[in-house]
Amino acid sequence: MKHLVSLGALAALAAIPAAWAQTPQGASEGRHGAAALSAGFPDDPRTFAVRAGGAMRASRLGGSGCVGFVTEDPTFVLTYEDAGDVFDLMLSAASETDTTMAVRTPDGTVLCDDDSAGNLGPGITVEGPASGAYEIWVGTFSAGAGYPETALHVSELAYSTANPFVRTVNAEAPAGTTLSLRAGFRDDPASIEVAQGGDVRLGPLGIRCVGYGSDAPSARLTYRAGRYQLYISTESEWDGTIAVLAPDGSWHCDDDSAGNLDPGVTFAEPQSGDYLIWAGTFSDIGEQTATLHVSEIGYAGVDNAVDVSARPLHGQTRLSSGFSPNPFSADVQAGGPVDSTLALAGHTTVEGFCYGQVTRAPSFRLTWNGQEGPLYISTDSDTDTLLLVNAPDGGWWCDDDSAGNLNAGLVIDNAPAGVYDIYVGSFGTEPAPSRLFISQTGFGPEAISLRADPSLEPRFGAFTLDPAGSSVPYEQELEAGGPLRAYQAGFSSSDFCVGHVSREPSLVINWAPDEATAFAVYLDAERDTTIAVQLPDGSWRCDDDGSVGLNAGLSLNGAPGLYRIYAGTYGSELAPARLHITTGELPR
C-alpha cells in the first residue's frame, strides 16, 4: 500500500514511543552514507548504493506496520532542504531480495512500508515534507538474508525499481574452461570438471534462474548443431543450479531437472554457436566444483525418454464397450531403466504424480473403441507397481497404490476412443512380473466396481421433509463408512471427496418446501466422518471436517427434490453416527 503522510497532520503527535529510545536519533550519517538535497533538485531520481538488512527487527523502530530486519543505525541519512508545498518526497529501494523500508522524519515520526514501489521493493511518500534530516532504514523482509546490494532512490516524481548496483554475471569475462563439439560427437557425454557457485546471484537473469555463481562463465561450449537435441547438466555433491546463455542471447536456467538435486537444461533444436554456462549452487556456500556434462542422448548421457510410438513389449489388444471376458488381463514385466520423472518432464499430466522406473517402449497398448462409461486399468503383483498411461489426447495418467496392496489403479471417466499406451513401472530397474487388468467395472482380477450407485435402495431409509412442517429439524441414527473410497466412487465434485462410503446411499431425503429453502446436513460421531450428497440436479457436494471437530457437514441451497446422502468415515472402519438436518446454521 502506498503511504501518503501529511507532516502537518502529524504535528499534533507530541510523544515519541518508548521503542524509539532503543535506536539512535538525529544521526548525521548512515551506515552507507548521507546526502543533502534541496527541493526541486535536478537529475531526479538520485540513486545511492546501500546494503539492505540487519539483525534487528524493524518493529523496534516504533512505527506502524514496520516489518523486516534492519541495522540499529540508519542505512542512510538524507538532509532535505528548502522544503515547500510544491513537491512530495518519494523514497524507494530496489534489490534482488524482498526489501522493506522505515523512515524517521524530522519531527520523529516513523513511517514504514514493504512492497509499494513494486517488484517487492518498498516505497514511502511524504506529502508536504519538512526540511530536516530523514533517517532511512532499508531492511530485508526475511531474517538471515544477508546484506544484499540495494539501490536507494530519492525522488520528487515517482518510485523506481531499478538497481544499477547489483552484481551480475559478465558474459565478456574469460570462461573457466572451454570445449568444442559438433553434432554426433563420440564418447557421449562429454564431461569436464568446472568451478561451481560463487557470490553473484543468478536470479536476475530470468525465469527459473536461482542460486549463486561466479561473475565469469564456468565454461564456454562451442557447438556445431545437427539433428540432435542438446542436454547440458552438472553433477555435484551440492544442490546445484545452472544458467546457460544461448547463441541467440536467450537465458535458460534450471534447478533440479537432471535428478538428485542436479540441474539440467535441454535444447530441442539447438543452434550452432557459443553456449556460456554458469554452474551454480542453490545456497550461498562459496565456490565448489562440479562435473559438467554435455550430451545428445540425455542428462549425463542417460537416455531418460519414453517412446510411445515403439512396439509394446508385452502385446496389444482392441476392446469395445461390453467386452468379455471382464476383466481383460495380460502378463507384463514391471520396471525398467528409464526414470519416468525425467522422461515426462514438460509433458502434460492429467491425473496423479508420475514417477518410478519404466521401460522405453510401452508395456502394453490398448486400442479402445468404447463409447461410454469409465475405463479401469490396474495391476496385480508381488512388487510395488506403478501405472503411467498415455491417453489418446497425449495427456498422462499416473498412479501408485489406488488398487490396494501396493497395486496401481487408474479410473478414466468417459474414456475417449483411441490408443492408450500403458507403462507398468516399479521402484527398481530390475524387471518384476506383474499382471495387467483392463475393465469397465473395477480393479483387479474380480473387476469389482468401485463406484457408488445412487439408484440403489438407501441403507437407512428414504424420507420426505417439509421445513414448513414439524419434520425439521430431523435426526437419524446410522452407520457411517463402507468399502468404497470416496475419491474413486464417481462423486464428480469441485469439493475434495475423501473417506470411505457404501455403494448405496445412506439416506435419501425428499426435500419438499414450496420454494428453495436452505438447510444444513451434518454428522455427529466419535470417529472422523465425511459426507457426500448428490443434489436434485445430479451434481455432488462433499466435505470432511466442515462441522464440529472432525465431523463432516454441508450447507445446501435447498432446492426442492431428492438428496442422496452418503455418510462416510475418513478411515476404513465403520462407525455409528447421528445425521442431522436443520434449517439453522451449520454448527462449527
Mean pLDDT, residues 20-34 taken together = 63
pLDDT at 67 over 90: yes
Q: Do 99 and 182 have their domain in common? A: no
* Rounded Cα distance, 251 and 263, in Å: 14
Q: Do 471 and 433 have their domain in common? A: no
* Rounded Cα distance, 567 and 588, in Å: 18
Q: Do 188 and 269 have their domain in common? A: yes
pLDDT at res. 18:
32
pLDDT at res. 318:
96
Mean pLDDT, residues 371-394 taken together = 92
Closest CA to 243 of 224, 268, 215, 271: 215
pLDDT at 588 over 80: yes
Which cell is 281 given? Answer: 549452487
Give a yes or no: residue 169 inside a domain: no
| Structure confidence at residue 13 as a pLDDT band (50, 70, 90) | very low
What's 64-127 look like in SS3? CCCCCEECCCCCEEEEEECCCCCCCEEEEEEECCCEEEEEECCCCCEEEECCCCECCECEEEEE
- Residue 268's DSSP bridge partners are none
Mean pLDDT, residues 224-232 taken together = 96
Give a yes or no: residue 404 inside a domain: yes
Mean pLDDT, residues 420-432 taken together = 93
| Structure confidence at residue 14 as a pLDDT band (50, 70, 90) | very low
What is residue 203's DSSP assignment? G
Percent share of the chain, pLDDT over 90: 77
At 482-538, the pLDDT tens digits run 988 898 888 988 898 999 999 999 999 999 999 999 999 999 999 999 999 999 999
Q: Do 443 and 336 have their domain in common? A: yes
Give a yes or no: residue 513 inside a domain: yes
pLDDT at 1 over 70: no
Higher pLDDT, 402 or 541: 541
pLDDT at res. 5:
38
Task: Output the average pLDDT for the chain.
Answer: 91
pLDDT at 2 over 60: no
Q: Do 286 and 333 have their domain in common? A: no
Give a yes or no: residue 164 inside a domain: no
Mean pLDDT, residues 449-462 taken together = 91
pLDDT at res. 117:
95
Mean pLDDT, residues 171-198 taken together = 97
Q: Do 471 and 521 have their domain in common? A: yes
CB 59 within 8 A of CB 17: no
At 254-288, the pLDDT tens digits run 998 898 899 999 999 999 999 999 999 999 899 99
Mean pLDDT, residues 237-249 taken together = 97
Q: What angle do CA 523, 524, 525 make, to 5 degrees?
A: 115
CB 543 within 8 A of CB 496: no
Higher pLDDT, 26 or 371: 371
| Structure confidence at residue 23 as a pLDDT band (50, 70, 90) | very low
Place of cell 443434489: 535
pLDDT at 246 over 60: yes
Q: Do 214 and 112 have their domain in common? A: no
Chain Cα centroid distance, residue 562: 39
CB 62 within 8 A of CB 70: no
pLDDT at res. 206:
83
* Rounded Cα distance, 102 and 71, in Å: 11
Q: Do 367 and 338 have their domain in common? A: yes
Closest CA to 537 of 504, 562, 516: 562
Q: Which domain holds residue 439?
A: 316-448
pLDDT at 114 over 80: yes
pLDDT at res. 403:
86
Among 123, 155, 187, identify where a domain stops. 155
Mean pLDDT, residues 167-193 taken together = 95
pLDDT at res. 28:
60
Q: Do 82 and 119 have their domain in common? A: yes
Give a yes or no: residue 306 inside a domain: no
Mean pLDDT, residues 314-332 taken together = 94
CB 236 within 8 A of CB 215: no
* Rounded Cα distance, 13 and 288, in Å: 55
* Rounded Cα distance, 459 and 508, in Å: 9
Give a yes or no: residue 234 inside a domain: yes
Say which CATH number the domain at 60 has: 2.60.120.380
Among 387, 420, 448, identify where a domain stops. 448
Q: Do 433 and 573 have their domain in common? A: no
Q: Do 327 and 425 have their domain in common? A: yes
Give a yes or no: residue 18 inside a domain: yes
Count of domains forming the chain: 4
Say which CATH number the domain at 364 has: 2.60.120
| Structure confidence at residue 8 as a pLDDT band (50, 70, 90) | very low
Q: Do 117 and 223 have their domain in common? A: no
Closest CA to 148 of 85, 189, 87, 93: 93
At 342-351, the pLDDT tens digits run 899 879 999 9
* Rounded Cα distance, 232 and 301, in Å: 10
Give a yes or no: residue 587 inside a domain: no
